[in-house]
Amino acid sequence: MEIALESAKCYIKLLEEAKKAGITTPNLFDATVLATARVLKAKVITGDEHFRNLPETIWIG
């Protein structure tokens, strides 16, 4: 339940940031990955533009 609720919050935030950055719309999977990382206090290793500059991200380019 906690991850599901956090996913909704993450999706809204990712959508807002994507619009500002002029990038594609994030999908629900992106939000679920981010929410899981936040709940577990983990990092996401990614090169996905939707995760750029998030504190939970270890960026690979």
- Scored b (16 or more CB within 10 A) or e, 2-20 reads eeeebbeebbeebeebbee
Q: How many domains does the chain have?
A: 1
* pLDDT > 90? residue 61: no
> If you average pLDDT over every residue of the chain, what do you get?
96
Domain that holds residue 23: 2-59
Q: Is the pTM of this model over 0.75?
A: yes
> What are the pLDDT digits (tens) for 25-42?
999 999 999 999 999 999
Give the amino acid at 18.
A
